Amino acid sequence: MIRPLRAAALSLMWLTPALALDEPVVWRDPATGCGYFLTPQDGMAIRYRADGTIDCPDVPQGTAARGALDDMAKELGRGLDTLRREMERLRRGPEERL
């Protein structure tokens, strides 16, 4: 009788941290109307719709929220091209660098 009670108590103790986690709460900014997730640990994250767009009234439904990612990918590509050219210049030798 004591063994099953002990096993049940131990399993309940292992589940307690998982049960203590609360779900994030959706909050809307009164100024913009955009949705955010607020976590119990004072975290904040942008809320996205099911189609991947930012949950804001001024963002049309169905538009891709990829503008910042596309810009970042272009800048990363430019940086890699610049690095490649600089590596080629350094490989050539001191007389060809000028």
pLDDT digits (tens, 9 = 90+) for 80-94: 999 999 999 998 877
Cα atoms in the 13 Å half-sphere on the side-chain side of 55: 14
- Whether the pTM exceeds 0.85: the reply is no
Nearest alpha-carbon partner for 32 in 12, 14, 47? 47
Split into its structural domains, the chain has a count of: 2
**Domain identity same for 47 and 77:** no
Q: What pLDDT shows up at residue 41?
A: 77
Give a yes or no: residue 37 inside a domain: yes
Q: What pLDDT shows up at residue 80?
A: 92
**Domain identity same for 70 and 53:** no
**Domain identity same for 35 and 49:** yes
Range of the domain at 77: 66-98
pLDDT at 35 > cutoff 80: yes
Distance CA 41, CA 45 (A): 12
pLDDT at 47 > cutoff 90: no
The sheet carrying 35-38 orders its strands as 25-28, 35-38, 44-46
What is the overall mean pLDDT for the chain? 75
**Domain identity same for 75 and 50:** no
